[in-house]
Structure 1
């Protein structure tokens, strides 16, 4: 029998004999690698989606905006269009600042762009549903329409007048919802705002009949799209105040909505990895006697230390690598929805890249090696005779400790003695609980954070997409951590202050911690979970007859 065949057969026998431990390792490493792959894949995903949307909609390189109106503004924008660096332009066109209300009384600020009924060569919004603008109708930007729950055929009220929604479209000329305003009516910052399009005549009529603020804008395509900064520096404007928004700035603004997402996923993957190591290492330590005896048997038949190490480590490595593949598949299927929570962009961010695959593979191998390293080294260092004899280690007797322990109740005494004989396992359990409490502290602090929704006062407020996306991911990571819970009191005590420290370090200065009572309840809940997790296996083990237990084969 070849060495490879021997290793495979022994590994398969172990998998069949300990399916629960294999399942735990598979689940732990899969969640850790999937979370890490998601976190690393989000870097640059916003820019990727923006560039694909920009290519599909003939997005401008620079948008020039002025909060003023009149001949002076028109003349200044015309000078920009005639600049030698400019190869094409669109506009000038009106941007009207108004309010939009749906049938269910949801109200939101909106900017209305006045466009031609026939799209030009530059800034050509892509209609994803319905048709392009026509007289008396409006087209909604897709991210805005999704937040409103509006579709083609619905009616919306803009500045007191009802319009049918004739289409849904995407564009790269503005940032993702809710940052469509670009500048305010006076050239300053604007509130969270959605985007709608109308015909030029409808936009002009809307502004004049309701005396609404208007911004004049022009889209520019440069000879060198990368030279936007040099272009804006060379055209500061004279008597007319002009604000420039480059395509690079819009791509950077798009990434703001994911600013809290990537740290949650990356830190969550670290916590999940640590929990995987502690949990699986505890199980591996419980199998140390069986592994030592198996190593003795292999030594007795002439196996080399390398072959023995391969047998003991291959099981963990094989399961970890399988989990790595599953984690990457989950990340590939999940990342599109996480990378584009607003529906304002089109395209595909693609699967995990080479560096991401390498990082998750290193993580999976590290979890497997760290989990099995100590039992493997112990088995290799044990002599053949000692491994086959499989005798228990004689406990040291200390008279003063015996006298003190005699005062304790019998169940507590036995539990304390078992704890003292397995200090490594106690440390692993404490680390597991501390890791879980770190996530729970952040999770409990989430509901008390001040979250400003999108909308107008006195109306139904649209959810804050950035806060909502981060909150959902934090809940998911915390749930995955709790699913692997191995709690104990020291970990609960340590986990709460560590959780406070981690939350404070990664949160803005105005972040609010959850009440202390909530954190204490979370720590208590984790300890209460220990009761069924430990009492039930102990109860089942206690029901087994004594003779079969003492005569059990540990091979």
Structure 2
């Protein structure tokens, strides 16, 4: 056993040294795949868990209570709740006013909460920029500030009173913009708006003639108790009449509202993660297929000296797994650090991604997924290499094309470059199919984004002005991020596919040049071999993108010029990435290529 392990190790080291170009390509491909998968997991972390992090960082309440009436009567009604048996801590009652805020030429509804200078035991809004409240100043909830494009030091007007923006903050006691619970005093209907905090001593002046409402934040012995901690009947039949018309918000209810704001973005990320996974598998499978083809003679030599199928499979898998493990660490770090800079799914919440090391469960998941992709992509090639006969492996013969009369008749009339491209694809059909899948996924993602950008989006009506719907903005941001990652990974896959094709077709192209083809025709033939399978992928991607976006919805089509531009852009990118290396490889002297032997 020790001797076999030593042999595997020596062959592994020798292969890593001899095939540096192929190993670098494989390392880059698996790193991109791992980074893509880690990015998807991290984005899911950003979308699904921001409220929990915000609640922990701000000492969020388990229950928020707001009476149905206003004035000192409301404040006095809240005070006895702080001593109930199920209540362990509290903050407030804090005064509330439901007013209007004007920033530049935009006037919107705003919930104004009066706070003290000292930090509260429950609900301590976390200041992300600037400082906390002071007389004459206002702290704006961060998502609301982003919507209004505010900066610290700006001046806004609340109910006609100018205030300086001293900072931005986030809280877990109210849903983020645009659902902080704005309503007319005494009304049960809530409207969209924003949230700000001011010094408690200023709120009466800002409210003017409007009576103040009050809110109380409670920490419960058992957070699952919820409303029952205050009203055992939970507001149902037989409920205490004192609480009719009161507003109760539990932590899970606030989290659910915030989650609804990220729902479309989460769906886009979910669909995109499947596209990215398929694209990653395609890229790794393409380069592994090229490596397996180049190592057929090596497999034959190993079998000739007595290596069995298990040994052959072990040697191949060991090399891929070592490269995969090296790439997994790089991809994991890249995806984890890039996610918060690329996507902020909820500006009104806290995200710790990228600041601390990734959690162990994410490390395990990312490494497992990366290795799973590597094994899935390599298993077919490894099995074929292990089961190939010794004679066939030593001959290192390419897959013979299926000869049909009509194909032969047509090929005689094709230009030389096109003929070379068709013959290359006929001899390596699996690589051609991978190119089709690569362009299909890429074009599908682009088509879906173009369809999304073409839709008419209803703005948010905030009482006095209208602003873009934050859900649409986050969804568009998620889509643009995903299509950007898809395009980068697809370009990398195309580059890798081109180089593997260059390495694989050195001898066939040399033979074609020996028979009279010019270097330009040989290079254009190799580029054509990459372009031909990309065309059906582009056409299919446009159609799949249209069907995917219109599933269950009644939407409008994107302009035909957009779709045509996208299709030609993808094909142009394929041509640009394949023509230069193909022409460079075709200029190698024919004699040098024919004298070299496959390894």
TM superposition score normalised by structure 2? 0.79
Tell whether 2:218 aligns with 1:220.
yes
Do 1:138 and 1:163's aligned partners in 2 also have CA atoms closer than 8 Å?
yes
Structure 1 counterpart of 2:434: 428
Counterpart selection for 1:238 from 241, 246, 265: 241
- How many angstroms does 1:391 deviate by? 4.3
Q: By percentage of residues, which structure has more helix?
A: 2
Do 2:91 and 2:123's aligned partners in 1 also have CA atoms closer than 8 Å?
yes
Relative to structure 1, the CA distance from residue 46 to residue 385 in structure 2 (aligned partners, 3 Å threshold; closer, same or farther) is same
In 2, distance between residues paired with 1:501 and 1:359? 32
Do 2:71 and 2:211's aligned partners in 1 also have CA atoms closer than 8 Å?
no
Do 2:65 and 2:216's aligned partners in 1 also have CA atoms closer than 8 Å?
yes
In 2, distance between residues paired with 1:183 and 1:53? 28
Tell whether 2:324 aligns with 1:320.
yes
- How many angstroms does 1:340 deviate by? 5.6
Do 2:325 and 2:367's aligned partners in 1 also have CA atoms closer than 8 Å?
yes
Structure 1 counterpart of 2:25: 21
SS state of the match for residue 295, structure 2? Answer: helix
SS state of the match for residue 489, structure 1? Answer: helix
After TM superposition, list the pairs within 5 Å mapping 1:454-473 onto structure 2. 464-473=469-478
Relative to structure 1, the CA distance from residue 457 to residue 174 in structure 2 (aligned partners, 3 Å threshold; closer, same or farther) is closer
- How many angstroms does 1:434 deviate by? 0.9
- How many angstroms does 1:230 deviate by? 2.7
Tell whether 2:584 aligns with 1:540.
yes
Per-residue CA distance 1:87-141 (angstroms, 9 max, x = gap):
5554444321222223x44443221113455555444445566665444443333
Relative to structure 1, the CA distance from residue 516 to residue 162 in structure 2 (aligned partners, 3 Å threshold; closer, same or farther) is same
In 2, distance between residues paired with 1:147 and 1:154? 14
In 2, distance between residues paired with 1:331 and 1:72? 54
Tell whether 2:64 aligns with 1:63.
yes
Unaligned residue ranges in structure 2 (runs of 5+): 495-530
Counterpart selection for 1:482 from 483, 487, 506: 487
Structure 2 counterpart of 1:518: 562
Counterpart selection for 1:383 from 386, 389, 401: 389
- How many angstroms does 1:312 deviate by? 2.1
Relative to structure 1, the CA distance from residue 329 to residue 536 in structure 2 (aligned partners, 3 Å threshold; closer, same or farther) is closer
Relative to structure 1, the CA distance from residue 326 to residue 40 in structure 2 (aligned partners, 3 Å threshold; closer, same or farther) is farther
Per-residue CA distance 1:343-373 (angstroms, 9 max, x = gap):
5445736654444334323321232223323
SS state of the match for residue 303, structure 1? Answer: coil
Structure 1 counterpart of 2:511: none
Relative to structure 1, the CA distance from residue 532 to residue 385 in structure 2 (aligned partners, 3 Å threshold; closer, same or farther) is same
Structure 1 counterpart of 2:253: 249
In 2, distance between residues paired with 1:550 and 1:119? 79
Number of equivalent positions: 545
- How many angstroms does 1:153 deviate by? 4.5
Do 2:112 and 2:198's aligned partners in 1 also have CA atoms closer than 8 Å?
yes
In 2, distance between residues paired with 1:445 and 1:154? 37
**RMSD over aligned Cα atoms:** 3.5
Relative to structure 1, the CA distance from residue 522 to residue 118 in structure 2 (aligned partners, 3 Å threshold; closer, same or farther) is closer
In 2, distance between residues paired with 1:115 and 1:224? 27
In 2, distance between residues paired with 1:136 and 1:480? 45
SS state of the match for residue 234, structure 1? Answer: coil
Structure 1 counterpart of 2:537: 491
Relative to structure 1, the CA distance from residue 445 to residue 361 in structure 2 (aligned partners, 3 Å threshold; closer, same or farther) is same
Relative to structure 1, the CA distance from residue 490 to residue 392 in structure 2 (aligned partners, 3 Å threshold; closer, same or farther) is closer
SS state of the match for residue 215, structure 2? Answer: strand
In 2, distance between residues paired with 1:167 and 1:530? 48
Relative to structure 1, the CA distance from residue 454 to residue 548 in structure 2 (aligned partners, 3 Å threshold; closer, same or farther) is same
Do 1:29 and 1:276's aligned partners in 2 also have CA atoms closer than 8 Å?
yes
